[in-house]
């Protein structure tokens, strides 16, 4: 019998900073974030985690436009909302209720004039609950 070691892993959340989500300069939510800026952190993302507390998320810092196309939900155990943020720190697209353990997710090809700078992954449903809106919500993040 083959044992998949991945099923036994449970990776802990490591707080690297905070994000403030704002609509029209009013803070709608503050969440703790774990940063993914190194290649290994980006490829692992939220894999091998059974839960993510409501006020937490993972912020991916992208080096180039091809990176946002490489999101893979394989070995991600929790449903997520994936938030795409441009170079002006504004939410430009919400991909909601992404099913866990899915190898390929639908990738939105943004027009070349939209520069995706960050991706924020949070629990599925939180973008609706917190009032995150495309073209309205902006982020400010603080690294500790």
Domain ranges of the chain: 35-129
CATH 3.10.400.10 fits 35-129, yes or no: no
Higher pLDDT, 131 or 41: 131
Higher pLDDT, 113 or 46: 46
Count of other CB atoms within 10 angstroms of residue 99: 11
Q: What is the pLDDT of residue 104?
A: 67
Name the pLDDT band for 35 (thresholds 50, 70, 90): very high
CB–CB of 56/32 below 8 Å? yes
* Cα angle, residue 46 at apex, residues 40 and 58 outer, rounded to 5°: 90
Higher pLDDT, 105 or 86: 86
H runs (alpha helix) in 8-140: 39-44, 126-130
Q: What is the pTM of this model?
A: 0.89
**pLDDT digits 0-9 by tens, 103-134:** 666 677 777 778 899 999 999 999 999 999 99
For residues 57, 72, 49 and 91, what is the CA-based torsion angle, rounded to 10 degrees? Answer: 10
DSSP string covering 53-85, please?
A: -TTEEEEEE-SSTTGGGG---TT--S-EEEEEE
Q: Which phi and psi (to 5°) does residue 127 adopt?
A: -65, -35
Residue 83 has pLDDT above 70, yes or no: yes
């Amino acid at each position: 019998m083959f044992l998949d070691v991945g099923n036994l892993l449970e990776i802990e959340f490591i707080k690297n900073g905070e994000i403030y989500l704002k609509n029209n300069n009013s803070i709608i939510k503050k969440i703790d974030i774990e940063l993914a800026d190194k290649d290994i952190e980006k490829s692992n993302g939220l894999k091998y985690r059974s839960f993510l507390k409501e006020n937490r998320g993972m912020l991916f810092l992208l080096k180039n436009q091809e990176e946002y196309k490489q999101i893979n939900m394989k070995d991600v155990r929790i449903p997520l909302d994936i938030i795409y943020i441009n170079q002006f720190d504004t939410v430009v697209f919400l991909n909601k209720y992404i099913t866990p353990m899915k190898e390929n997710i639908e990738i939105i090809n943004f027009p070349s004039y939209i520069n995706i700078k960050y991706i924020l992954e949070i629990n599925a449903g939180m973008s609706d609950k917190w009032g995150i809106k495309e073209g309205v919500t902006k982020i400010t993040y603080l690294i500790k």
